[in-house]
Amino acid sequence: MELQIVEGGLHQRDQLLRLYQAVAAIPGGLIRQPAEVTPAYIEEFTSESVSHGLMLVAMEGEELVGDIHAHTPPIYAFSHLLTDLTIMVHPEHQGKGIGRKLFNAFLARVEKDYPHILRVELYVRRHNTKNVQFYTSLGFETEGVHERKIFAGNGRFETPLQMVWINPGYRG
């Protein structure tokens, strides 16, 4: 079945919940614990992304297999950025290039249709070198290190990197 990248929305809440629950079930797959992936969480990020950002989903037929979204905070000083970028690909569909297709569509859309957006920001765990390399290959640069910001349980902490992509289509 052919993959389609389309705008996401609130009508996909149930499919998004299943996607996020599947990824949260994989150790290290999602920063949230499985119990924290609730309908309210899905509703919150979907609403923010649809009303103040961008949300795209990957569809194989009627099945939602991936999601990418980010939003602009409701503060004038941050009106030039999309932040908290999150990407999910269902575990059964990882390794097929869906994440790259989602990112390429997302960044192309920002460049073309969001000239007021200068920055797209995301966080990635420093030890996840595969993802760091992936984001770098898309044009993201490491901008900061947040030492021991993520509590991983059992007295362990992880360090995320803040990465940023600068929109070449920015016309502020």
In a domain, 101, yes or no: yes
In a domain, 120, yes or no: yes
Identify whether the C-beta of residue 165 lies closer than 8 Å to the C-beta of residue 107.
Answer: yes
State if pTM tops 0.85. yes
pLDDT tens, 65-82?
999 999 999 999 999 999
The pLDDT value given to residue 52: 97
SS3 of residue 32 by DSSP: coil
Helix (H) or strand (E) holding 52: helix 39-52
In a domain, 38, yes or no: yes
Q: How many domains does the chain have?
A: 1
In a domain, 39, yes or no: yes
- Containing structural domain, residue 106: 3-166
The pLDDT value given to residue 31: 87
pLDDT band with cut points at 50, 70 and 90 for residue 169: very high
Identify whether the C-beta of residue 117 lies closer than 8 Å to the C-beta of residue 89.
Answer: no
In a domain, 171, yes or no: no
Identify whether the C-beta of residue 172 lies closer than 8 Å to the C-beta of residue 80.
Answer: yes
DSSP state of 159: -
* Segment 86-114 mean pLDDT: 97
In a domain, 90, yes or no: yes
In a domain, 75, yes or no: yes
What are the DSSP calls for 84-153, one per residue?
Answer: EEEEEE-GGGTTSSHHHHHHHHHHHHHHHH-TT--EEEEEEETT-HHHHHHHHHTT-EEEEE-TT-EEEE
pLDDT at 61 over 90: yes
In a domain, 49, yes or no: yes
pLDDT at 33 over 80: yes
